[in-house]
Amino acid sequence: MHRTTMLPEDGWHLAAGALTGNAVGQDVEALRAENDQLRRALAGRAVIDQARGMVMVLAPCSSERAWDLLVGVSQHCNIKLRDVAAALVATTRDETLPEPIQRELRRELRRLHAADRG
């Protein structure tokens, strides 16, 4: 039976550093970079889902329509979706929503309500 030993994270850096000159070391570095990217993506996804929920309550609308609304604000402001979401969620901590996002959010909400009536 094989036993797996977990190295502390700094141990991984040392081991990968020793292997950097070969294919295994390069694979370890690539996996570490992918892991970091996935960790950031998951954190961004959580804030996007929170903002989506806020829009669903404000509008009210479906999850898909809330997603489309946030994407529209992001595209029109030329601001990454996770940053738009983070700004919206920050309003729950009494932070002011930046003016470009406020303006586009109002515009998208009006568009959403007009589509519901028409």
Is pLDDT of 4 > 60?
no
pLDDT tens readout for residues 25-63: 787 888 788 877 777 766 668 999 999 999 999 899 999
C-alpha separations of 21 from 15, 34, 90, 94 in Å: 12, 19, 44, 50
In this predicted model, what pLDDT tens digit does every residue of 55-98 receive, in sequence order? Answer: 999 899 999 999 999 999 999 999 999 999 999 999 999 999 99
- Give tens-digit pLDDT for 108-118: 999 988 888 87
Q: Which pTM does this prediction carry?
A: 0.67
Q: What is the pLDDT of residue 57?
A: 94
Q: Given CA atoms 111, 98, 42, 37 in this order, what sign does their dihedral have?
A: positive
Domain boundaries, the chain: 11-117
